[in-house]
Structure 1
Amino acid sequence: MHKTAIYPGTFDPITFGHIDVIKKALKLFDKIVVAISDGENKDYLFDAEERLEIVRNALFKDLKMNKKKIILISFKSLTTTLCKKYKSSVILRGLRAVSDFEYEFQLAGMNRKLNNNIETLFLMSDVENQIISSKFVKEIVKLNGDIKKFTTKSTIKALKEKYD
């Protein structure tokens, strides 16, 4: 039986923390759907199409990850709707710090109420990447700091172009 997991997020931009979660998930699942949220309730630096392209470049060009095992999409629906569409009973979420847990716990509970056949699996990125957040990466690059320890080359290029 093929197992697919949904990994939803804003990925604005993708970081090594996100990539750690994807790599770990690939050891557990046959396919990962990296689902880039296009909800209107957030103020994104990159629009959904740009984020999709940035993630595509980071995973497949920079890191040469397996295109057969990773599906990239953008979405505006409930994550539970994506689970149904891709026949998945697992939502992946990354945890960095204890401060993430309360929000993630509530989100997992709501998803469970929407569909009690769906489990949320929390994965932690490696220790050296747990401090990385997209918010900090954007702030550092905006102030001309070095972010090569936080994300891929193509993502850095996209960020620098956005701020130039």
Structure 2
Amino acid sequence: MTRSGFYSGSFDPVSYGHLDVIERSARLLGRLVVGVGVHHGKTPLFSWQERVEMLEAETRVIAARDSTQIEVVTFDGLSVDAARIHGATVLVRGLRDATDFDYEMQMAGTNATLAPDVETIFFAAAPQHRHIASKFIRQIAAMGGDIDQFVPPLAAKRLRAKLAGSIS
């Protein structure tokens, strides 16, 4: 029986840190649904369609290489509800530092109360990705800095184009 997980985030833009968690969790679980959050109170730099497109391009490579099943979807409610809708019994979360840990432990406890049948697992960020945060990537790109070490080529190209006022 293949265990299914749900990994949610804004992915604005997708980073190597996100892809590391996606790859490791998909290999462990066999099936992973990546949920792109579409929250009406937030204004991401990339539209949900652009974020899905970038994630699909990157996860296609991971799925083929590792013989895993990865699906990218959008959701606008609670992650735990989206997990259930997509048949996942595991919520996947990445941890960069103690601040993430404290927040994620509270969220895991809340989700366990809401959905006792959905378990939360944590992946510690790989050392080379521990410092990566999408908001810093956007700031570095906006100031003309080199983002190639933080995001895959497609995301870097799209981010530069978006900040220059055009998308290609």
TM bracket (short chain): over 0.9
How much identity, in percent, do the aligned residues show? 32
Instruction: Tell me how far apart the structure 2 counterparts of residues 117 and 29 of structure 1 sit (CA, whole Å).
Output: 16
Cα displacement (A) at 1:58: 2.8
> Equivalences for 1:1-164 in 2 at 5 Å?
1-60=1-60, 64-66=61-63, 69-164=69-164
Contact 2:59 2:70 in 1 (8 A): no
Describe the superposition over 1:56-114 as per-residue Cα deviations: whole angstroms up to 9, x where unpaired.
22333xxx222661000011122122222222210000000111112111111111111
Secondary structure of 1:40 counterpart:
coil
Instruction: Tell me how far apart the structure 2 counterparts of residues 39 and 113 of structure 1 sit (CA, whole Å).
Output: 22
Structure 1 stretches lacking a partner, 5+ long: none
Secondary structure of 1:28 counterpart:
helix
Describe the superposition over 1:16-45 as per-residue Cα deviations: whole angstroms up to 9, x where unpaired.
111110111122111110000001232311
Contact 2:83 2:89 in 1 (8 A): yes
Secondary structure of 2:91 counterpart:
strand
Instruction: Tell me how far apart the structure 1 counterparts of residues 22 and 51 of structure 2 sit (CA, whole Å).
Output: 16
Secondary structure of 1:132 counterpart:
coil
| TM, length-normalised to structure 2 | 0.91
Aligned length: 161
Instruction: Tell me how far apart the structure 2 counterparts of residues 43 and 105 of structure 1 sit (CA, whole Å).
Output: 26
Secondary structure of 2:117 counterpart:
coil
Secondary structure of 2:62 counterpart:
coil
Instruction: Tell me how far apart the structure 1 counterparts of residues 134 and 127 of structure 2 sit (CA, whole Å).
Output: 16
Instruction: Tell me how far apart the structure 1 counterparts of residues 151 and 123 of structure 2 sit (CA, whole Å).
Output: 18
| TM, length-normalised to structure 1 | 0.93
Q: Which moved more, 1:47-56 or 1:11-20?
A: 47-56
Structure 2 stretches lacking a partner, 5+ long: none
Aligned partner letter, 1:6: F
Aligned partner letter, 2:30: D
Q: Which moved more, 1:108-117 or 1:145-154?
A: 108-117
Contact 2:4 2:87 in 1 (8 A): yes
